[in-house]
Amino acid sequence: MDVRIGQGIDFHRLEKGLILWIGGVLIPSDKGAVAHSDGDVLIHAICDALLGAAGLRDIGYHFPDTDERFKDIDSKILLEKTIELIRLNGFITVNIDSTVCLENPRLSPHIDSIKKRLSEIIGIESTRIGVKATTTERMGFPGREEGVVAIASVLIQLV
């Protein structure tokens, strides 16, 4: 059995007046992510983890922020394309575990919706997707509400 582990991390600055997408779900907030795409930090971390596990480089290689085709793109499309890439290389996603570091807004009320949305895109049961949220106890840029961080680990299998 050929199984591989990947890990991904992403960061985005937060600014007032922008929208906040996390895990394919619009999160009510007075601040949103500054990004070339829609700035979905969780999906970006998951894409990087999947691509890395498959030995396919990273999200910036496949979807560069210098390419206008990806300007303001819905990150759910990037995840769909990432899943397609790993499948073309013979892999399936076994499971995902992730953590989002964000002081405000609280993500707990949105976790089930995020897991459901990711499950639909990736094509695995939501029970195979872990999404956790934490604060940084007001430390660092996430604690000062200047940014958001997401970390993801994945297990993929060659079929």
- What's the gap between Cα 41 and its chain centre? 5
Angle, helix 111-122 to helix 75-88, in steps of 10 degrees: 40
Question: Would you state the pLDDT for residue 117?
Answer: 98
Tell me what percent of the chain is helix, strand and coil, each rounded to the nearest 5: 35, 35, 30
Whole-prediction pTM value? 0.97
Q: pLDDT tens across 29-70, in order?
A: 999 999 999 999 999 999 999 999 999 999 999 999 999 999
Please tell me the distance from the alpha carbon of residue 99 to that of residue 23, in angstroms, as a whole number.
11
Q: What is the CATH number of the domain that holds 84?
A: 3.30.1330.50
Question: Would you state the pLDDT for residue 110?
Answer: 98
Q: pLDDT tens across 5-37, in order?
A: 999 999 999 999 999 999 999 999 999 999 999
- The residue behind tokens 């990004």 is 35
Q: Which domain holds residue 58?
A: 3-158
Which amino acid belongs to residue 91? F
For the chain, the domain total comes to 1
